[in-house]
Structure 1
Amino acid sequence: MHLARCRKCGKVMKSERVDTYRVKLSCSCGFSDFRTLTDKVKTVNPFYRQASFTPLVEGEKGKMVLTMQRANREHLEIISLEEISMLVSSDFDLPEVLQLVTRKVAVQLKVSVCNIYLLEGDELVLAATHGFDPSFIGGIRIKMGEGITGTVAKERQYISLSHASQDPRYKYFPELQEEKYNSMLSFPISDKKDVYGVINLNSTSIKSFQEDEIYFVSIIANLITTAIKLRRQVAMGKKPA
């Protein structure tokens, strides 16, 4: 999977939202095409029709960004969900989608760190990060049931803490210098049958994650689950629903 490129000249195409579920892809050579969100993505994001937006535009290095018309917190969260929904259905590789998601979530919720761990065998492996050194991706591994992250994956129940390092389940990684982080929200990336990973938020400040923030992260976790499933279907040669 990759950025959408023109079938005629091979250039990266620009994206423009044309209606609720479609994006128009256009190239300077005159070629155009349309992409439609899958039914799975429409279902996972419950806010998909609740705000008006300016079109998708190309940002630095070809990354999609949304210019925003509404400035209050609720609408900003909806816009973030809209953009992540588009990423889930895009041609981006899963690692790039996850990396973009960590950045957007960290900025939206004003936290120092956002990490996504994916399950590989019986271990959770760091797959994307905003706030930690990218060199740790693939190197940090946590066993199912180990630490707060492993506990969340095993029990499929989120954990929210104001003083995470004081919790007896906390697992310390010296290389990550985690002693400077206090608050933590760890949420399972799962469906009714399987667990796929965990998304963690860490903050240097001592705070309690609010109910609406936890709900926001729950939707993000569902969108990540959808992104994983869609790309696995494509890898297996199946047409996404």
Structure 2
Amino acid sequence: MQIAARCRKCGKVMSSQRIDNYRVKMTCSCGFSDFRTQTEKVKTVNPFYHKANFTPYVESEKGKMVLTMQRANREHMEIISLEEISMLVSSDFELSEVLHMVATKLAVQLHASVCNIYLMEGEELVLKATYGYEQEKIGMIRLKIGEGITGTVAKEMQPINLSRASQDPRYKVFPELNEEKYNSMLSFPITDKKDVYGVINLQTTSMRSFPEDEIYFVSIIANLILSAIKLRQKVASAKNGEKKSPIS
């Protein structure tokens, strides 16, 4: 199956090449490349597709039907988001662009007011992408390992899920971010179980705990971000190796 698409850089029609069961690589003569997915294999993108748990709160048959419809729509939207983010991870976009788009998609999908992505830079966690805060704060907000809720998650490499985050003694306030209006917070580590690479923070104005299925969803996103980081590190390392190798 051929996919027609135009290059985002030069506008020319791109050629397509099947990569695996759900990805197609789009290539332009100008050198730009991107990835698209085929929807018939969407379940392979989300290994937690059948693990979402929804408890009906109404007993009527009509109410149950509505909840079933909401569940189906939610799972469908999660799969679409995962497809899009999977493509971003494998694309030629800079990591900063990928993180910005991931933060936006994650916040919209989970109805969060704020989504911040911090990455390790030396011995500090640095804000690298945000949805909900001013873009000018990127690179300016820094935390040490163990500092605040975010630093604690990075240190322990375990998520923290709070319905009233501001009342937690570990909560660190950044006055310039106007955080006092946010209540619930899910802070999730980006880690390969050996090292920590960053932290994803989600915040809402409502007082609620993020349910298990949403935490599963964030865990998948964290793994995709980790893949994006390692992929770009590998590419950068290969380029540096080419520059250092002697010309034959």
TM-score, L = length of structure 1: 0.76
1:228 aligns with 2:223: no
> Cα distance 1:90–1:179, how it changes in 2: closer, same or farther (>3 A)?
same
2:62 maps to which residue?
A: none
Contact preservation (8 Å) 1:132, 1:176: yes
The Cα offsets for residues 95-133 of structure 1, whole Å up to 9 and x where unpaired, read as: 000000000000000000000000111110000000000
Amino acid at match of 2:150: T
Match of 2:190? 189
C-alpha distance 163-49 of structure 1, shift in aligned 2 (>3 A): closer
* Aligned pairs (5 A) from 1:64-213: 72-213=73-214
Tell me if structure 2 keeps the 8 A contact 1:15–1:23: no
Query: How far, CA to CA, are the matches of 1:202 and 1:35 in structure 2?
Result: 31
1:202 corresponds to which letter in structure 2?
A: Q
Pair 1:13–1:25, CA change in 2 (3 A): farther
Provide structure 2 residue ranges, at least 5 long, that are not aligned to the other structure.
Answer: 51-70, 240-248
Q: Distance in 1 between matches of 2:14 and 2:194?
A: 37
Contact 1:162 / 1:183 at 8 angstroms: preserved in 2? yes
Q: CA deviation at 1:208?
A: 1.2
Given that 2:26 and 2:36 are in contact with CA atoms closer than 8 Å, whether structure 1 keeps it comes out as no
Change over 3 Å in CA distance of 1:172–1:35 after alignment to 2: closer
Contact 2:36 2:87 in 1 (8 A): no
Query: 1:64-113: per-residue Cα shift (whole Å, max 9, x none)?
Result: xxxxxx96101111111111011100111000000000000000000000
Structure 1 unaligned regions, length at least 5: 51-69
8 Å CA contact 1:24, 1:32 repeated in 2: no
1:152-189 deviations in Å (ceiling 9; x for gaps): 00000000000000000000000000000000000000
**Contact 1:199–1:221 under 8 Å retained in 2:** yes
CA separation of 1:34 and 1:197: change in aligned 2, threshold 3 A: closer
The answer as to whether partners of 1:13 and 1:25 remain within 8 angstroms in 2 is no
Answer whether contact 1:125 1:138 (CA < 8 A) is retained.
Answer: yes
Q: Distance in 2 between matches of 1:232 and 1:163?
A: 37
Based on CA coordinates, which of the two structures has the bigger radius of gyration? 2
Contact kept in structure 2, 1:149 and 1:186, CA below 8 Å? yes
Q: Relative to 1, partners in 2 of residues 1:92 and 1:5: Cα closer, same or farther, differing over 3 Å?
A: farther
Report the AA paired with residue 227 of structure 2.
T
> What secondary structure, in the 3-state scheme, does the structure 2 residue paired with 1:157 have?
coil
User: Alpha carbon RMSD of aligned pairs, Å?
Assistant: 3.3
Partner secondary structure for residue 184 of structure 1: strand
Contact 2:46–2:79 (8 Å) recurs in 1: no
Amino acid at match of 1:209: F
Give the direction of change, closer, same or farther, for the CA distance of 1:17–1:84 in structure 2 (3 Å limit): farther
**Cα gap change, 1:185 to 1:26, in 2 (>3 Å):** same
Q: How many residues align?
A: 207
| Distance in 2 of aligned mates of 1:197 and 1:231 | 15
Match of 1:214 in 2: 215
Higher mean displacement: 79-88 or 14-23: 14-23
AA in 2 matched with 1:86: M
